[in-house]
Amino acid sequence: MDYGSSLVTKQGERATFESLDVELHNVFKFFNQEPAVNGVYLDIRQGEFFSILGPSGCGKTTMLRLIAGFEKADAGKVVIQGHSMTDVPPYRRPVNTVFQSYALFNHLNVWDNVAFGLRLKKLRKAEIESRVKQALELVKMEGLRSRFPNQLSGGQQQRVALARALVNRPALLLLDEPLGALDLKLRKQMQVELSSLHKQLGLTFIMVTHDQEEALSLSDRIAVMNQGKIEQIGTPSEIYEEPRTVFVADFIGDTNLFEGEIAGVDASFVKVVTKKGLSIVVTRQQDTPTEISQTVVISVRPEKIQLSLYKPSLQTNCFEGRLVNIMYLGTHVNYIVQLTNGVRVTVLQPGTFGNLPDRETPIYAWWAQGDCQALSPNG
């Protein structure tokens, strides 16, 4: 099977999402009696770009290693393409891993690094030549085949690591913080190339990252992990716009959080009074908490908040304050507004060619009922 012939089939399956490439069934992994992966259930669809996102120590890399076979689950089952991997060693699994450190052999040139795995399999010389050439063309490194790793930039080394993984034609490509060692500009460039490569090949990509922007920009779906558990799985827009827990709301992007109690409920809205006395009205959704006196946390994204020098004619979610900090960021301006009760809110608005207001300027901050969410503090 070559990359070209697999493309139509894979993309067709990816469009329907009918098949599963990876399934985790109630998986546990302990280190020193502490759960690094704590009862995880997970389905990854064939052909999708799936990211596992979370802070350091949340268990995301351990979960990737369980799929690769570098770690063995203490309980539960890992299934790849319908087959249990319980007793299958890493080299027998239809996966290849690209590491943050690239793990290239410094004494081998680009061609020999990519060919290394094929030679271990004792493939015919003509097939090795053909597959290595094709893999290097995919990552645009065919012109540097004779160079050694220390003669390459970080981005070029990453491309070689990708070619070495792809040359084995895995069903799944596992990416462990693949762009973490690159500088910001190169990382953004490689994000585009990774996305293009995924669309071209139609393979299942599973990436571990702590970079929120990276996960949001590349992924079909994201699993957000915290303390060994999955907090939420969803598309990038679902994760950002509809977080189901306070952790997800706070970890993904920036947000303003207000803790309070439910003071009123009707068919359309929930009224919350915060500890600082703010009265906030939230559009009621299917999973919005509704029990009177229940403690909740209101989440409002900075870009959802509007500012006005004059009091808007609004009945809800409009608060008086003053500007205490202004940070010009080029495309956007970040404002810190201190409300009259002392609560500070962060506001993000598009950059302006006009003059920015001065600090201590009296101002009103407001947002729509549908632009905030009430979340249970316990998830």
332 and 273 part of one domain: yes
172 and 142 part of one domain: yes
What is the predicted pLDDT for the residue at 251? 94
153 and 268 part of one domain: no
68 and 193 part of one domain: yes
242: domain CATH number?
Answer: 3.40.50.300
- Residues of the chain whose pLDDT is less than 50? 1-17
CA distance 19 to 23: 11
CA distance 40 to 67: 12
Strand pairing category for 49-53 and 221-226: parallel
Q: How many residues does the chain have?
A: 379
115 and 212 part of one domain: yes
272: domain CATH number?
Answer: 2.40.50.140
Q: Which of 246, 281, 309 is the last residue of a domain?
A: 246
211 and 319 part of one domain: no
Say whether 328 sits in a helix, a strand or coil.
strand
What is the predicted pLDDT for the residue at 147? 92
What is the predicted pLDDT for the residue at 10? 34
What's the domain range around 236?
3-246
121 and 168 part of one domain: yes
Give me the number of domains the chain comprises. Answer: 2
314 and 231 part of one domain: no
CA distance 221 to 240: 12
Cα torsion through 105, 109, 112, 114, rounded to 10: 70
What is the predicted pLDDT for the residue at 359? 87
306 and 358 part of one domain: yes
Q: Which of 246, 273, 295 is the last residue of a domain?
A: 246
355 and 275 part of one domain: yes
Q: Which of 225, 246, 267 is the last residue of a domain?
A: 246
C-beta neighbour count of 97 within 10 angstroms: 22
The order of strands in the sheet holding 269-274 is 279-283, 269-274, 256-265, 295-300, 372-375
237 and 271 part of one domain: no
Distance of CA 334 to the CA centre of its chain: 24
Distance of CA 4 to the CA centre of its chain: 29
Encode pLDDT of 260-315 as tens digits.
Answer: 999 999 999 999 999 899 999 999 988 899 999 999 999 999 999 999 999 998 88
Sign of the CA dihedral running 75, 81, 87, 88: negative
* Predicted structure pTM score: 0.85
In Å, what is the CA distance from 14 to each residue of 77, 131, 215, 338? Answer: 24, 24, 19, 48
C-beta neighbour count of 230 within 10 angstroms: 22
Name residues whose C-beta falls within 8 Å of residue 269's C-beta, 6 or more positions apart in sequence.
281, 282, 283, 284, 369
232 and 273 part of one domain: no
Burial degree of 124 (CB within 10 A; 0-12, 13-18, 19+): exposed
Sign of the CA dihedral running 63, 206, 299, 258: positive
Name residues whose C-beta falls within 8 Å of residue 143's C-beta, 6 or more positions apart in sequence.
none
